[in-house]
Structure 1
Amino acid sequence: MKTIITTKHAPAPIGPYSQAVLTGNTLYSSGQIAINPKTGELVLDDIKAETLQVMQNIAAVLEAANMTFENVIKSSIFISNMDDFAIINEVYGSFFDNENAPARETVQVARLPKDVNVEISIIAVK
């Protein structure tokens, strides 16, 4: 059985997908990009602000599922420019305890939706 997780505190899907799906005790989120859910506008001022918005969107999805970043066991980071990795990693890392950080991969891709610079998805378990 699956439960669709939806929150107005994260961007609404821009296609045929859900913000996240909970099955059993496991949450699978769709990739989050830096859309401000209050304005619907992209936050592209700089890579730090963009990554912070992405992480805030993930936090909202986790909260809607009654979870926190402590529940995250795996994340996938897609970036358009590996030169941005250090800044993305700094912002991302501020949401986790290093000793209990999730497994992760970071992949440079040719292009992301809406031409953003970073997209992150997570898997979390209660």
Structure 2
Amino acid sequence: MPERTIIKTPRAPAAIGPYSQAVLVGDTLYCSGQIAIDPKTGSLITDSIERETEQVLENLGAVLRAAGMDYKDVVRCTVYMTDINDYAQINEVYSRYFNESPPAREAVQVAALPRGARVEISCIAVRQTPST
């Protein structure tokens, strides 16, 4: 059985419930959903859906880096949004982070997200092993 390691970084918001920012099992990282909480202030970014999405992806990136990974290691994302009409703006920001080899993804509208957030993104990443 592969070792299970809890990933925690102060560069992303602390968990606001009984869960981990991410769990690494072998070479696979399971990242909890991130919302647009600024880890320095603890405040939710709400000035625009674009800025909110950027903060979500920056938070996700901080968790990936804490596990020794990056966006290129992400194989699947789930995007939750409270208004499907924000899809184009979210997608435009998302495409800047996943532009070379985009992961598999689903995007769904939900009734509500924690702390009044409008977008939340979770992912699964797999550490790339060097080819021999």
Could you tell me the TM-score, scaled by structure 2's length?
Answer: 0.93
1:88-120 per-residue CA deviation (whole Å, 9 max, x = no partner) reads 00001100124x110000000011111110000
Counterpart of 1:22 (choices 24, 30, 46) is 24
Q: How does 1:1-126 map to 2 (within 5 A)?
A: 1-98=3-100, 100-126=101-127
Gaps of 5+ in 1: none
Whole-Å separation in 1 of the counterparts to 2:7 and 2:94? 22
Letter in 2 for 1:91: V
Task: Report the structure number with the largest CA radius of gyration.
Answer: 2
Q: Distance in 2 between matches of 1:97 and 1:118?
A: 19
Distance, in Å, in 1 between the alignment partners of 2:110 and 2:60 is 20
Matched residue type, 2:82 = S
- Identity level (%): 56
The list of structure 1 runs, each at least 4 consecutive aligned residues, that deviate by more than 4 angstroms after superposition, is: none
